[in-house]
Chain A
Amino acid sequence: MSVVPLYDPAAEMEIGVTAATAHARATQRRKVDVRDDPAWVRWTIISVSIAFLGIFVVLPLINVFAQAFAKGIAVYVDALTNAETLAAIRLTLAVAATSVVLNGLFGLTAAWAIAKFEFRGKNFLITLVDLPFSVSPVIAGLVFVLLFGLQGLFGPWLAAHDVKIIFAFPGILLATIFVTFPFIVRELIPLMQEQGTEEEEAAVSLGASGLRTFVRVTLPNVKWALLYGVLICNARAMGEFGAVSVVSGHIRGETNTMPLHIEALYEGYQAAPAFAVASLLALLALVTLIVKAVLEKRIPKD
């Protein structure tokens, strides 16, 4: 046991030095983010992530374009200007446009009702809106066959009145609307809920009619979110395969949408033309992603 002197200048200096270095270390540590991982961890995670995305996402995408031009430009142009392809493109555009408009109108009224008014069962309604997300596309098609098909609930009545829904345009449209149902309304609900009713109340108190308030106040407030929803809804509507496949009947040149036309070509051992049509849809996907990135900057984040 050593005797500790009452006052030891050397010891005090040492304490002073340790305190100083500790302080220096602390400052240094503040400069170095504690969240920095060691370089080898960082580069391992980055390379594994890039390899994973590269193999599973980038390579298939590049492959679409590579295969589309594998047999030369002439085959590519031929595949796209073929009468059946053009019919498929027309059908796809018509189905997508109609379902976007109908889902847009529904999205606006439903989001308006949910966000601006209080009523019982509101949360339940919000859950129901999401339902089509968790239903298999095949089942989405099947339910309409069960309703309107020949053996379906309304089948005999429709047949007697010569109305064709299944294996025709209305069936394809219904299945597409079902599958794309949540996209627009889902973008609008949170935004409209957050904006509240103050601006509308001000407009109404100044004498604006209900419709005028909606067109001049509510609509401009949600226009970017609406456009975002329309964009995603359109992409999904044009690309939908499973649901449409069940209700379409696969009549070439008549009820084949672009994805179904791709399937028909591919199964018919016409790989290059199939990939040529596929490259159009892949292009649509890329454009959608770019526009989406632009729109995301415009939509106020919570």
Chain B
Amino acid sequence: MGVSLLWLSLIVLIPLAALFAKTAELSAAHFIEIITSRRVLHALQLSFALSFAAAAVNLVFGTLVVWALVRYRFPGRRLFDAIVDIPFALPTAVAGIALTNLYAESGWIGSLLAPLGIQVAFTPLGIFVALVFIGLPFVVRTVQPVLEDLEKELEEAAASLGASRWTIFCRVVLPSIVPALLTGFALALARAVGEYGSVIFIAGNLPNVSEIAPLLIVIRLQEFRYADATAIAAVMLVASFLLLFLINTLQRWSEGRTGKRL
């Protein structure tokens, strides 16, 4: 007991406390000046906006994927079920260079999009693609167990009362999986906001255009501007704590509703 608490403190708690201690050393005016500078503000906005958009795409397509995997039988279903985990397992640097190569003008997808005037690599659109990739498993994996356990009788009862398939989906199935969907969305969002490895290769990293907040932290560290790096990190850490709190609340809500812990 004591050993595990000590280890937890040494590895996780003290380092995180050090971050806030360093932030507290800054005067309020200096902190605000750093955070509201044009470049920092743009990086934070870009990170949060694109993460939100990517999580939203994963919410929609993740729902379709999980529906296909749970409800239908088709050739290769088990293979595709396994494929969902690849973004979890593939190291981010590998994903980063693979996506960059794929969407560069000479790449397999980039060369198809170039004639249409669409440039993905080295633009914010590229960041979005990378964030969709790394967030993909979250919605599928949180909704899957809930949808699998959903009682057939509920839908049969609704059907016997004359409800159409669409009505049944909206009024019976959807309400049961909403907490899991939102949890998956929040998990994907939290992961995307902090993501670094898969994004920096494809982003182009132009200040005020395609520079994400985690990269700006790294740049400030390399310039030995520790105060700036710490202040940006503190803002992001508070945001991820809020997300963690939200996820915990959603899970408790889901537990109360389905009796299952996600």
Point out residues on A near B: beta carbons under 8 Å.
34-35, 37-38, 41-42, 45-46, 48-50, 52-53, 55-61, 63-64, 67, 106, 109-110, 113, 117, 119, 125, 127-140, 142-147, 149, 151-153, 174, 177-178, 181, 190, 235, 238-242, 245-246, 258-260, 262-263, 266, 271, 274-275, 278, 281-282, 285-286, 288-289, 292-293
Contacts and interface: CB of A to CB of B under 8 A. Distances in A.
Contacts of A238: 91
Interface residues of B, number: 85
Nearest to B244: A134
A285 B90 contact: yes
Given A35-B71, A242-B197, A262-B94, 17 more contacts: A37-B165, A38-B165, A60-B102, A60-B133, A61-B86, A63-B101, A109-B7, A110-B7, A132-B12, A135-B240, A137-B194, A142-B233, A143-B15, A145-B226, A241-B96, A242-B92, A245-B197
B221 interface: yes
B89 A288 contact: yes
Contacts of A181: 11-12
B98 A61 contact: yes
B196 A138 contact: yes
Nearest to A106: B7
Contacts of A55: 109
Interface string B77-114: 00010111111011111111111011000011100000
Contacts of B97: 64, 262, 266, 271, 274-275, 278
Contact of A278 (B94, B102, B237, B240): B94
B193 interface: yes
Contacts of A110: 4, 7-8
Contacts of B4: 106, 109-110, 113
Nearest to A130: B244
B132 interface: yes
A110 B19 CA distance: 25
B18 interface: yes
Which of B3, B15, B80, B155 has most chain A Cβ within 10 Å? B15
Contacts of B86: 57, 61, 285, 289
Given A38-B165, A138-B196, A147-B14, A52 B64 contact: yes
A41 to B, nearest CB: 8
Given A139-B237, A241-B196, A56 B19 contact: no
Contacts of B90: 60-61, 239, 281-282, 285
Nearest to A242: B196
Nearest to B260: A302
B98 A178 contact: no
24 contacts: A37-B165, A42-B72, A48-B61, A52-B64, A61-B86, A64-B98, A109-B7, A110-B4, A113-B4, A128-B12, A136-B196, A139-B214, A139-B237, A142-B230, A143-B18, A146-B18, A149-B226, A235-B89, A242-B197, A259-B93, A262-B97, A271-B97, A278-B94, A281-B90
